[in-house]
Structure 1
Amino acid sequence: MKLEWIKSSYSTSSGPDCVEVAIPDEGHVLVRDSKTPDGPRLALAPTAWAAFLPYATEH
């Protein structure tokens, strides 16, 4: 299965690099570093991802 990775809207083509997420099914949210797309990935439960988002979007 080919994953559709979505880059953070805070990331631009001129930097800085950010995280990317993919949702392969309803039971997981995958997270990776956009600088190393073939590197490690985190698999999070949707509830854990939802709990993390408010902290990630603070300025």
Structure 2
Amino acid sequence: MSLGSRYSEQICKVCAEICNACAEECEKHASMGMEHCRECAEACRRCAQACEEMSHVA
């Protein structure tokens, strides 16, 4: 991103998509009482949000 790659926005959007998919899967397991999966889902949601925000800057 710091070098102005024409792919920066796309990479950030794909990162957000991947993180959201991970969060969705972890949330399935978290609903069964797996605490570490709930924590993972939260981390993935934060990552997805950061990537989405970065895609607007790229």
Taking structure 2 as the reference length, the TM-score comes to 0.29
Higher relative helix content: 2
Higher relative contact order at CA 8 Å, sep ≥6: structure 1 or structure 2?
2
| Greater Rg by CA | 2
